Amino acid sequence: MTTYLLAGGGTAGHVNPLLAVADRLRERDPEASVLVLGTAEGLEARLVPARGYELLTIAKVPFPRRPNRAAVAFPARFRESIAAVRRIIGDRGVDVVVGFGGYVSTPAYLAARRAGVPVAIHEANARPGLANRLGARFAATVGVAFDGTPLPGARLVGMPLRREIETLDPAARRGEAAAHFGLDASRPVLLATGGSLGARRINRTMVDSADAITAAGWQVLHVTGAKSEVVDPDVADYRMVEYADRMDLALAVADAAVSRAGAATVCELSALGIPAAFVPYPVGNGEQRFNAGGVVSAGGAVLVDDADFVPEWVDATLLPMLSDAGRLRAMGEAATSVGFRDGTDRMVALVDEALGEPGGTAPSGA
């Protein structure tokens, strides 16, 4: 029996691909032991047990960004985290560590190296995080979601997607999806979303442009997120929801999208061939702009800075795009050309290769 230790967490960008891989490992070998390493504070603390996996937690030890009391305590706390993972590896007979980035991945990689256990890594963002930059130096295999991600030995596998997205047939589910959201399946739908917490600029501009977009013949499905500051514009053909618990149905009914450029969102839209206008999150290290780079270069999406996504841009750029059916078809085909529906299987193949199993059919280098 193989024992897998999957390390990652903190955000949905780490947890969701981890769970997709965990599910596939369990599906193909119900006797395998699939353990998850995370923290008690991250999103994994809720999602992992709910999915039926054992969550093993270690302390969250962020790398210090400035000289302060936390920086002084960091070395000892970090060594304790490595030692804790090393004990887990030994006590549970872990055969391979599969890392997805985040706070817990760095001690997991170092503990695995000291224990002589192979490491397989998945990097979801085009601009890799610190943990995966370190782990990739000695990992047996490294898979990336986006072509050109600068990690040693990286191979393009795409994003491990949820089963309901991986197998989604939008045409077959369109009627069900439209009914779920109170939309007309015979008319085009623009999906607008800024992620689980929402995006202030996307929310504000979409509401301010509600009349113009619906007057152009489009319906709007606007997922505002939990911290929205906008109110429903009360416009016919405009559906506003705080949270879409059936995001598969939202994607099934979408003919185009306006969204942030988080790695999972970019990969899901590309895999399904949905043309998009990406509005990258303007704070942080700029990874969202890089995430969207491949599909934008292929012609499957357009990119607009957060500050520029205003009603005037909608009028000048988005509405002409939505009014050109031929362009939208071409964009959808271009998006599909750089998307992956089999990212989960491709990443599992890298895990098999790290274990030295002959069944691995890992993709060639990116």
Which residue ranges are tagged as binding site for UDP-N-acetyl-alpha-D-glucosamine? 11-13, 125, 162, 196, 288
Q: Do residues 97 and 18 make contact, with C-beta atoms less than 8 angstroms apart?
A: no
Distances (CA, A) of 51 to 45, 166, 195: 11, 18, 21
pLDDT at 260: 95
Distance CA 95, CA 113 (A): 12
pLDDT of residue 102: 87
Determine the Cα–Cα distance for residues 307 and 239; give it in Å rounded to an integer: 25
What confidence category does residue 348 fall into, taking pLDDT thresholds of 50, 70 and 90? very high
Amino acid of residue 164? E
What phi and psi values does residue 281 have, to the nearest 5 degrees?
-60, 125
Query: Domains in the chain: how many in total?
Result: 2
Residue 192 and residue 209 in one domain: yes
Q: Which residue from 52, 114, 62, 123 is spatially nearest to 88, judged by alpha carbons?
A: 114
Q: Which two tokens stand for residue 13?
A: 């960008």
| Same domain as 257, residue 217 | yes
- Asked whether residue 117 carries a pLDDT value surpassing 80, the answer given is yes
Angstrom distance (rounded) from CA 190 to CA 213: 9
Give the pLDDT mean for 88-108: 96
What is the predicted pLDDT for the residue at 68? 67
Q: Give me the chain's average pLDDT, please.
A: 92
Q: Which of 94-108, 208-222, 223-237 has the lowest mean pLDDT?
A: 223-237
Q: Is residue 129 part of a domain?
A: yes
| 169 and 198 inside one domain | yes
Helix, coil or strand: residue 330: helix
- 79: how many CB neighbours lie within 10 A of its CB? 13
186 with 331, same domain? yes
**pLDDT, mean of residues 202-213:** 97
Q: Is residue 18 part of a domain?
A: yes
Same domain, 17 and 154: yes
Pair 38, 57: CB distance under 8 Å:
yes
Indicate if 168 and 157 belong to the same structural domain. Answer: no
* Same-domain status, 279 and 318: yes
Given this model, what pLDDT does residue 365 score?
A: 47
7-51 pLDDT, tens per residue? 998 877 889 999 999 999 999 999 999 999 998 888 898 999 999
* Contact (Cβ atoms closer than 8 angstroms) between residue 148 and residue 186: no
Q: What is the pLDDT of residue 345?
A: 98
**Which structure tokens are listed for 44?**
């994994």
Parent domain of 278: 164-338
Cα separation of 126 and 161, whole Å? Answer: 17
The answer to whether residue 180 is domain-embedded is yes
- pLDDT tens for 135-174 read 999 999 999 999 999 999 999 999 999 999 999 999 999 9
Asked if the model's pLDDT at residue 362 lies above 90, the reply is: no
Q: 237 with 114, same domain?
A: no
Q: Determine contact, residues 272/168, Cβ cutoff 8 Å.
A: yes
Residue 361 has pLDDT above 70, yes or no: no
User: Which of 66-75, 170-179, 210-219 is the least confident region?
Assistant: 66-75
Q: Does a structural domain hold residue 68?
A: yes
Domain annotation covers residue 366: no
- 52: its two tokens: 């039926």
225 and 240 both lie in a single domain: yes
191 domain residue, yes or no? yes
Does residue 200 contact residue 214 with C-beta atoms inside 8 Å?
no
Output the pLDDT for position 66.
Answer: 64
- pLDDT of residue 359 exceeding 60: no
| 201 and 257 assigned to the same domain | yes
93 shares a domain with 115: yes
Look up the CATH number of the domain holding residue 82: 3.40.50.2000
Q: Does 364 map to a domain?
A: no
Task: Extract the annotated binding site.
Answer: 11-13, 125, 162, 196, 288
**Residue 203's closest CA among 311, 83, 350?**
311
- 54-68, 248-262, 336-350: lowest mean pLDDT where? 54-68
Is residue 177 located within the same domain as residue 299?
yes
